[in-house]
Amino acid sequence: MQWDLSIDHEFQGNVGTRISYIAMKTDDLVWAPDLNDMSYSSTAPAAQRPLTDRPFPNWGEVNSRQTGAQATYESLQMEANHRFQHGFTFNSAYTWAKNLADNQGPTSTGFAAENGSNVGAVSTYLYNRELDFGNVYGTRRQRWISSGVYELPFGKGRKFGANMNHLEDAVVGGWQLSSIFLLQTGPYLTAYIPSNDADPSGTGSGILYGRDQHPDIVGKIAPAHPNRNEWVNPRAFACPSNTGYTAASYAGNACGVGVSSNPIGRFGNESVGDIVGPGTVNLSTGLSKRIAITDHVHLRAEGTFTNVLNHTNLNDPELNITNPNFGKITTARGSDFGGNRTGQVSMRLEF
């Protein structure tokens, strides 16, 4: 189901604007439960429970694909554009969006697919789909992207140098500048405890069936000044417990609840997408020149650069809470996502 409302207005100078509310609700999405999940336990680790505690005692995992998951999307979108006039055109769009779903699995790192075996990760627990409810990884809360093309006003027939001769125009005229600027907040991330280190619910979700487990959130997630050495506050995450937390409970230490100790009969209280990763700032620019050889033959030289300012866009932090580097960022994003500056130079004949 989709619904939207838009208001458009055109201003002087050939500038059109639009503001929109756009929303969508999706039912019966595919999700991936394990039909052999056991009931909660606080008395015995899953590996020690009798096979008769399983719905299908003679089987291990019984992974399934079912419909019934849901997603909701709401956004406020604003756009301004200038039609090509006097050698200039631009388009600028801002989006504030909220996208929530419960079919992502316990540690989503992308949009959940709905084909084959890739339906996101196997769900945390058959009997409670809400454990995997939260912000969708790939939807940014805020995103502003602007693009423009500007023909420099120099050369024959232009504002400056309209009476240039052919040689002068070949050097000075025909230049065009284009750019794309992106500014967006970061992806929604989920801290986790490796499946072989914890099974706090006692259901076998972790130690038997290989699903990463959620920790408890016990403090403010974002530090006062997030940086690559501490993007996430490690003392905000702890091994799940019903009796309180000690220094050894916090991120950076082993967990073991439900594996080397009895389970606590519940999952960790973290939701999917509780952590906001680093945002992206990226300016890509191109400069081209069109040289007329005859009326119908032109030579076009062009140089284009991604991340022309070579701004460092940080990658996602370490999310395994048992890793001593939890919350730290050790790499930058790749070239497809605002990585180091890249460039190419080309020349082609147009006729």
Residue ranges of domains in the chain: 2-350
Is the pLDDT at 138 greater than 90, yes or no? Answer: no
Instruction: Identify the pLDDT of residue 119.
Output: 46
* pLDDT band of 111, cuts 50, 70, 90: low
Instruction: Identify the pLDDT of residue 158.
Output: 72
Is the pLDDT at 3 greater than 90, yes or no? Answer: yes
Is the pLDDT at 96 greater than 70, yes or no? Answer: yes
**Which pLDDT tens digit goes with each residue over 282-318?**
999 999 888 777 778 888 888 999 989 999 999 999 9
CB 241 within 8 A of CB 147: no
* pLDDT band of 161, cuts 50, 70, 90: low
Is the pLDDT at 115 greater than 60, yes or no? Answer: no
Is the pLDDT at 85 greater than 90, yes or no? Answer: no
Average pLDDT over residues 97-107: 92
* pLDDT band of 47, cuts 50, 70, 90: very high
pTM: 0.86
Is the pLDDT at 117 greater than 50, yes or no? Answer: no
Instruction: Identify the pLDDT of residue 289.
Output: 85
Average pLDDT over residues 185-213: 95
Percent of the chain with pLDDT over 90: 71
Residue recorded with tokens 């790749």: 334
For residue 327, give every residue at least 6 positions away whose Cβ sits within 8 Å of its Cβ, in sequence order, or none: 230, 231, 232, 233, 234, 251, 317, 318
